[in-house]
Chain A
Amino acid sequence: MSYTEKELKKELDNKSYEFGFVTDIESDKAPIGLNEDIVKLISSKKKEPQWLLNYRLKAFQIWKTMKEPDWAHVKYTKPDFQNISYYSAPKKKKELQSLDEVDPELLKTMEKLGISIEEQKKLSGVAVDFVMDSVSVATSFKDKLGELGIVFCSFSEAVQNHPELIKKYMGTVVPYTDNYYAALNSAVFSDGSFCYIPKGVRCPMELSTYFRINESGTGQFERTLLIADESSYVSYLEGCTAPSRDENQLHAAVVELIALDKAEIKYSTVQNWYPGDKNGKGGVYNFVTKRGICGYRSKISWTQVETGSAVTWKYPSCILKGDYSIGEFYSVAVTNNFQQADTGTKMIHIGKNTKSTIISKGISAGKSQNSYRGLVKIGKGAKNSRNFSQCDSLLMTDQCGAHTYPYIECENPTATVEHEATTSKIGEEQLFYCMQRGISEEKAISLIVNGYAKEVLNKLPMEFAVEAQKLLEISLEGSVG
């Protein structure tokens, strides 16, 4: 990537959260608070079948008995779950046949995000599902994908049009009993994305969803369900933004991936929720449960670039159930100012000859706390399984923290597990070298950090790698103390 001075200047002028604008769209919002009636209201607004309502109600019952987890290395004021609106939809939502019908304000929002649907459509051939305040508002390229039998639509549409798939797979990877936030999501999820790739189909384009929290005082609870049928392939991208607000917004999503025999799913996330301001005020609480299950010889690969959110609690995981299945996790997590992240992965090896790779790069700046937490479990029957983990942390200031909590549980003696981790300061000699060659300190840091994160960034699809690189740079501006 090349940088011009002009670019640099522009970016330096624009240190605040780039996507922190509010979209002025009239919205249909549920009253605040959470009780059974609200759950029923959400379900009825979405014209859901009875079984789905029952599922929500069961989840709600369980959730009421659960405690918010506190084992993660993060400190925050627990959200008041009775002070959130659990449903907010842009009001003028109708059945949208084409992009022309989309509210112009919304289109403007997308443009500001730099992911104008039209542009995306023309330039990169990425099919985009746009989820705003938990409701899917536009999905492009539907017809073209339809020809291949690929279903890519909002979760609510899928409930109406493909109830059999939803019924069969929803909650099979992340049951509503799984954890506090997953239970909450299962009770009140409003929308999300759904994707089904039929047997033997290689999805010809990147599928992409953009999530955005817009409305104030709302939580976003979307669900993503992605099913790759036997021998299919899909690469899926997810991007997230939210406006700057003083209060803390809550995002509690559930993502379930199902890779049937010999299928491959590549799931990439660029997470850039509003991280709060320089003094730690506001920002999104990002409490997300992401998990995939692998069949025989299948592969799930998670790639994440995490720069946003005030508090992140997220462990994209793979259950390697099928023999010879493969799980991968590549992560770059940047925290600055008062951000806190506790993120990592779980690799659960159940099948024989399963393989997993974990590469995690943490970068802490400002007064932030950045933790890697990962589990590698080799079950009794997981003969000849292999894991390699590498978790590195880079510290930018003497006020921040970088922590590594790997859990290695090996119950099969034929398995090999390797974990390595290092923590160090950004190399002063490297910085000096760059600066002596006329590169500004900020630029030098960005160069070095990008080099440090390269292994992960390389795993992203091209157009996102560039975006992610920029994001890293923006999030680290002014980080040297």
Chain B
Amino acid sequence: MIIKDLNQFSLNSEENKEAIANLSKNLFPSRKEEIWKYTPFKKFKKINFHNQENFKIKGLDTLNLPNLDGIVIVFENGRYNSKLSRIVETDEIDISFSSDIFPSNNFQTIKKNNYFTSLNSSFLTNSVLVNVNSNTKISKNLNFINIVSSDNCLSNTKFSIVLNDNSNINLRQYFLGNSSISNGFINHENNIYLNSSSSLSIDKFQDLNNNFNFCNEFITQKNDSKFIMNTFSCSGIIVRNDIISDVNGENCHTELNGVFSPTKNEHIDNHTTINHLVPNCKSFENYKGVLKENGVGVFNGKVIVHQDAQKIEAFQKNNNILIDQDSIIYSKPELEIYADDVKCSHGSTTGQFDDEALFYLRSRGLSIKKSLQLMTLGFINEVIQKTSNLEYVDFVLKRLLKE
């Protein structure tokens, strides 16, 4: 394994100033634009972002993350933190760091840039590229931890991964905001490329507390590949995920799942687009929203079946539970179908827990709080059980249920 170009990046201070000016001058995309309609940009107002190097995390163990026995890559305040990271050399995987954006010829067929991807590219501090060699199966998880630990710190980071033919890996991504700080902002981009017969599953965990996190994610799949992404969004002032997946090879399996549980005026925004460009593929989407105490959730899922992409099966589901007064959900499952021999469906439900079930649980001795927790667990179980590791499930559940 080679580690190359490991250097520190300093921002051009003039550009930096301009970026900060832009952020506070509200040069954001307008909320009149359909895809930004529900995102509360006003929460960015009056925040002066900076980007200074500042490592504060004392040790990996202070983060209390489950089973970090594989490779661990830690980014703190936008920069690679080599002290906390643990990279073991193997023949199976190459990891390199640079400030360059990932070679574009490999990537997205339909890459869509937006304000935040431009911001990311212009002020990128560190980027990591993982290359998984052909015919390998990595048994231990690859862990990517991206943490903001300074007030008002804006970190622009990029994670790219290429799975070569017939390779297989599980990735865990953590986006964390230190609970003792506020107004930090991780503006992240994931670039993911799956070659033939490769398989990648990502468990993405977002727990930002009083900080922001935007993730723009671009995925390309070649034939016979399998991609699963489970997104668990627990907290953050605004957490927004924009996933664009191009399925560009036949016999692919694409699966996007998620649980989001905003509370206390938090806003969690999930946007997904699955582009079925070729025939004979299947995609599944399942997002569950649990909203309470003024929490606001957005689900906007889009499946596009392009012309001649016949025999596509695409299923999209979004279920939401509003637990108490003033929680809000905006759900927008969309289908755009240009081929006729397809099976596509979507469903969206919003409601509350059944009173009768609540009474049943209470009559068995469960307090209201416990009953609600248990019902919430039941509600999100379908998605949670997609991850097989019990320790990880426990960890995620505790944060999602805010126990």
Contacts and interface: CB of A to CB of B under 8 A. Distances in A.
Complex A–B touching at CB under 8 A: yes
Interface of A: 71, 73, 380, 393, 395-425
A376 to B, nearest CB: 9
Interface in B313-351: 320, 322-351
Interface string B337-375: 111111111111111100000000000000000000000
B308 interface: yes
A398 B341 CA distance: 7
Given A71-B34, A419-B348, A421-B346, A410 B320 contact: yes
Given A406-B334, A413-B324, A417-B351, 5 more contacts: A395-B339, A398-B339, A406-B331, A423-B342, A424-B344
Contacts of A408: 329-332, 348, 350
B334 A413 contact: no
A423 B323 contact: no
Contact of A417 (B308, B337, B341, B348): B348
A380 B325 CA distance: 9
A400 B345 CA distance: 18
Nearest to A71: B34
B307 interface: yes
Contacts of B339: 395, 398
A399 B341 CA distance: 11
For this complex, into which size category does the number of interface residues on chain B fall? 35 or more
B351 A402 contact: no
A416 B333 CA distance: 17
Contact of B332 (A393, A398, A406, A418): A406
Nearest to A408: B331
A218 to B, nearest CB: 33
A397 B346 contact: no
B160 interface: no
B98 interface: no
A403 B325 contact: no
Contact of A401 (B328, B337, B345): B337
Given A403-B336, A410-B320, A421-B335, A398 B308 contact: yes
B310 interface: yes
Contact of B329 (A397, A404, A410): A410
B352 to A, nearest CB: 6
Given A419-B347, A421-B345, A407 B332 contact: yes
Given A400-B340, A419-B349, A413 B322 contact: yes
B338 A401 contact: yes
Contacts of A71: 34
A417 B346 contact: no
Interface centre among B310, B326, B332 (most CB of A within 10 A): B332
Nearest to B352: A413
Contacts of A400: 338, 340
A164 B76 CA distance: 70
Nearest to A412: B322
Contact of A415 (B345, B346, B350): B350
Contacts of B333: 404, 406, 419, 421
A417 B310 CA distance: 32
Contacts of B326: 380, 411, 413
B349 A417 contact: yes
A371 B103 CA distance: 37
Contacts of B329: 408-410
Which 9 pairs from chain A and chain B are nearest by CB?
A413-B322, A395-B340, A408-B331, A417-B350, A416-B351, A419-B348, A423-B344, A422-B345, A404-B335
Interface in B274-328: 291, 307-308, 310, 320, 322-328
B307 A399 contact: yes
Nearest to B310: A398
Nearest to A413: B322
5 contacts: A398-B339, A403-B337, A404-B334, A410-B322, A417-B349
A396 B337 contact: no
Interface centre among A402, A418, A420 (most CB of B within 10 A): A402
B61 to A, nearest CB: 39
A397 B340 contact: yes
Contacts of B34: 71
Nearest to A428: B341
B332 to A, nearest CB: 5
Contacts of B341: 398, 425
A418 B351 CA distance: 8
Given A395-B340, A398-B307, A425-B342, A416 B334 contact: no
B33 to A, nearest CB: 9
Contacts of B325: 413
Contacts of B334: 403-406
Interface centre among B325, B328, B337, B338 (most CB of A within 10 A): B337
B299 to A, nearest CB: 9
Nearest to B298: A409
B44 to A, nearest CB: 22
Contact of A405 (B332, B340, B343, B349): B332
